[in-house]
Amino acid sequence: MELISQVLALEPTSQVLAKEPIVPFAILLVVILVVPILFERLRLPGLVGLLASGVVLGPYGWNLLQTESAMMTLLSNIGLVYLMFVAGLEIDIQQFRRTKNQSLGFGSLSFLVPLVAGTFVGWIFGFDWNSSILIGSLFASHTLLAYPIINRLGVVNNKAITVTIGSTIFTDIAALLVLAVCVAMRSEQFSFERLIMLVSLLTLYSVVVLVGFDWAGKEFFRRSGDDEGNQFLFVLLCVFLAVVGAQFIGVEKIVGAFLAGLAVNETVGEGPVKEKVVFVGSVLFIPIFFVNLGLLINVPAFLQSIDTLQLTFFIIIGLIASKFIAAFLAKLVYRYNWQETLTMWSLSMPQAGATLAATLVGYRAELLDFRVLNSVIVLILITATLGPLMTSRIAVGLTSSAMKEQRTVNPSYQKQEERDNSYTIVVPVYNPQTQQHLIEMAALLARQSNGKIVPLAIATAFARMDAPQLEASVQRSQRLLTKATALSQVLGVEAQPLLRIDDAFAQGISRASREQKASLIVMGWGKRTGFKARLFGNVIDNVLWASHCPVAVTRLVESPKKIQRILVPLENLMTPSLQPVKFAQILADANEAQVTVLNVCERRTSSSKIAWRRSQLSLLISRLALQNPPEIQIIAHENTAQAILQAARLYDLVVLPFIRNRTVPGGLAISDVTTQLAKQLTCSIVMLGEPQRTQAVVIPTEVTSSTTATISEGIV
């Protein structure tokens, strides 16, 4: 009886969870791990799943998670800071500098027109001027979610697109400054003196962060060498110091986080440190921020409120219309054609990280109510879908015109193309047992392209250059190079062996390849993985990050000279990577082999849609101007990986793209079919990694850690 009475006296579940922070944290981990995967299988963004999880588990659902708890507040705030930091980290500063005049012009139009439209929407719905201006600032920024699409279509260098990319830095900074002023002015009556003081402090603070952190970062990175752990900690320290400084002068912390991202942008660059910084946020903190945001959403109240539905409609229409007006005014000022104008409109339409973060800050400051919060979430979902879809349809036509314009302006363009076709192939050699197949692969490609190969051996040296270990490493490297040179002579290809002494294997490969102006790096991968490789990456991963040219990571089960049938799967026709097709065709021409380009669609796809996909794929491949166009095959199947595995049984080699997929800034890693294929394919494989390019705030793209762990700790 005593036991029964104790059981009956148990506290409600919600109270127990409130007292035990480990329990809700465990629930969060389950949600972050499982829900995005389930939603992606349903062809829905993982972000939608996280928001939906917050709605279900929050106070308006099962009440398992409380947004007021200390743990949720801390983790959500870190996620908010991380989101804005990554937004600043991903902005293409070089792009802005190249087109700063027109970028500032279009940025001003893209900021002011939506600001006025949003302010008007807020005013007609009864908000005061401070809140109305804040709503207008939510319209003013934009997120370049469609950047991967224009990057794959090869139109990034189009003037209108570079201007749109460069304008992002202006619109984001201006919108955050408006947010900072609106929030700072909420508690007291407006006064000109207070505004001057705030602007002065904000200007001084911005200079200290942008200039001081940039200088300190470059000095620290220069002195710390290749110590990625300390570099990672330094970047985090910069973020939170900037946040503390912002709060000290009375400015919202997301402003400091964004400025910190801009400050260390060039210092971090596109390398392993940036990957680890983004990885930590995208795996844990930013997903928790989205779940916590879902806790605030009251779906029944949203659907039952006519006023909220009307506000949502006006916000969506106001945003889309104002962005179009801004693009049209830019057309009149800078004389863009209609196709460029519509592309600028579609690129500047999507709202994501900055808008969401600013909305939450305004909601917490009681400048915005739940109607605006819910409306902005709907706005983000609609524009994040509509913008990239329009870009994929409109920007396709820019490709040919951009290439034609480049040929017209630069008469040596065609000669440059011919020079680019001549390959210099760097082949890092380490394992004598696999060296022959790597040299044979490089020789076939070089012979077909009238190029040369550079067998590269790295002798690693640390503190002492006179150490016996270094001498032994040099002698071993020389033996490998002698064998590689002999193989090259037998194959009838020019070889220029290179021995390099460097403090790290991956950095040595990347530096030597750039010095040799390599067109391609051919590497091997092994079958071993380890804890260090999973946590800190491996040689191949580091080379992929730092390389200026494509990297072919190979697993060859037989001599490349025996390859007769090559399969190139293309997962997504919206943003295809055509580099593997070009690589496969060069190899096929050398062997007189046949290339098949494979695309897998849903099993229920109609014959007319399959025919359309085939024509689209033919159109994309025709841009490569190949002498022997590959065969195109479309398969309807419910499982992409299984369809490719079944088709690969008839082929000697499968060429796979090795790219990085991300969602919104710092968002979730998208699952990659390449991971499954690399583990299960039994034929030869080439995973072709494209060079890393500085990208603006985008649905950034990333290889999951499981894929890189599938490759090896080192070169084989």
pLDDT, tens digit, 9 for 90 and up, residues 583-633:
888 888 888 889 999 988 888 878 888 888 888 788 878 777 777 888 888
Q: What is the mean pLDDT of residues 507-528?
A: 81
Residue 159 structure tokens = 């003037």
Q: What is the mean pLDDT of residues 425-430?
A: 88
Q: So what's the pLDDT on residue 327? A: 93
pTM above 0.85, yes or no: no
Residue ending a domain, among 360, 380, 402, is 402
Q: What is the mean pLDDT of residues 99-127?
A: 91
288 belongs to a structural domain: yes
Q: What is the mean pLDDT of residues 210-214?
A: 90
| C-alpha span between 356 and 315 (Å, rounded) | 14
Residue ending a domain, among 378, 402, 426, is 402
Residue 527 structure tokens = 């079958």
Residue 596 structure tokens = 């098949």
Residue ending a domain, among 373, 402, 431, is 402
Q: So what's the pLDDT on residue 124? A: 92
Residues whose CB falls within 8 Å of the CB of residue 209, separated by 6 or more in sequence, listed in order: 242, 245, 256, 259, 260, 263
Between 114 and 399, name the one with better pLDDT: 114
Q: Check which CATH number belongs to the domain holding 271 and give it.
A: 1.20.1530.20
Q: What is the mean pLDDT of residues 388-403?
A: 68
Q: Check which CATH number belongs to the domain holding 679 and give it.
A: 3.40.50.620
700 belongs to a structural domain: yes
Between 690 and 280, name the one with better pLDDT: 280
Between 701 and 360, name the one with better pLDDT: 360
Residue 103 structure tokens = 């970028």
> Do residues 258 and 84 make contact, with C-beta atoms less than 8 angstroms apart?
yes
Residue 159 has pLDDT above 50, yes or no: yes
Q: What is the mean pLDDT of residues 492-497?
A: 86
Range of the domain at 231: 14-402
Q: So what's the pLDDT on residue 120? A: 94
Residue 694 has pLDDT above 80, yes or no: no
537 belongs to a structural domain: no
273 belongs to a structural domain: yes
> Do residues 599 and 616 make contact, with C-beta atoms less than 8 angstroms apart?
no
Between 709 and 548, name the one with better pLDDT: 548
Q: How far is CA 444 from CA 161, 259, 496, 703, in A?
A: 38, 49, 16, 29
483 belongs to a structural domain: no
Of 289, 271, 295, the C-alpha closest to 353 is 289
Residue 386 has pLDDT above 60, yes or no: yes
If DSSP codes are grouped into helix, strand and coil, which group holds residue 81? helix
Of 271, 229, 225, 217, the C-alpha closest to 503 is 225
Residue 27 has pLDDT above 80, yes or no: yes
Angle of helix 306-334 relative to helix 370-394, nearest 10 degrees, comes to 40
Angle of helix 272-280 relative to helix 539-546, nearest 10 degrees, comes to 100
Q: So what's the pLDDT on residue 8? A: 43
| Burial classification of residue 207, based on how many CB atoms lie within 10 Å of its CB (0-12 exposed, 13-18 middle, 19 or more buried) | exposed
Give the mean pLDDT of the chain: 79
> Do residues 713 and 579 make contact, with C-beta atoms less than 8 angstroms apart?
no
Of 689, 662, 688, 678, the C-alpha closest to 712 is 678
Q: What angle do CA 115, 175, 98 make, to 5 degrees?
A: 105
Q: Which range has the worst mean pLDDT, 232-236, 560-564, 694-698?
A: 694-698
> Do residues 427 and 438 make contact, with C-beta atoms less than 8 angstroms apart?
yes
Residues whose CB falls within 8 Å of the CB of residue 186, separated by 6 or more in sequence, listed in order: 130, 365, 366, 367
| C-alpha span between 24 and 447 (Å, rounded) | 61
Residue 148 has pLDDT above 80, yes or no: no
Q: Is the dihedral of CA 283, 286, 292, 298 positive or negative?
A: negative
Q: What is the pLDDT of residues 633-654, one digit of tens each?
A: 888 888 888 888 888 889 999 9
> Do residues 626 and 582 make contact, with C-beta atoms less than 8 angstroms apart?
yes
168 belongs to a structural domain: yes
Of 126, 51, 60, 56, the C-alpha closest to 380 is 51
> Do residues 701 and 664 make contact, with C-beta atoms less than 8 angstroms apart?
no
Residues whose CB falls within 8 Å of the CB of residue 402, separated by 6 or more in sequence, listed in order: 154, 155, 157, 158
274-288 burial code (b ≥16 CB/10 A, e <16): bbbbbbebbebbbbb
Q: What is the mean pLDDT of residues 273-288?
A: 85
What residues does 495 pair with on adjacent strands? 453
Residue 705 has pLDDT above 80, yes or no: no
Residue 38 has pLDDT above 80, yes or no: yes
Q: So what's the pLDDT on residue 410? A: 46
H-run or E-run covering 596? strand 594-601
| C-alpha span between 311 and 163 (Å, rounded) | 32
- Count of structural domains, the chain: 2
DSSP alpha helices (H): ranges in 365-496? 370-394, 398-409, 413-420, 432-448, 468-491
Q: So what's the pLDDT on residue 238? A: 92
61 belongs to a structural domain: yes
449 belongs to a structural domain: no
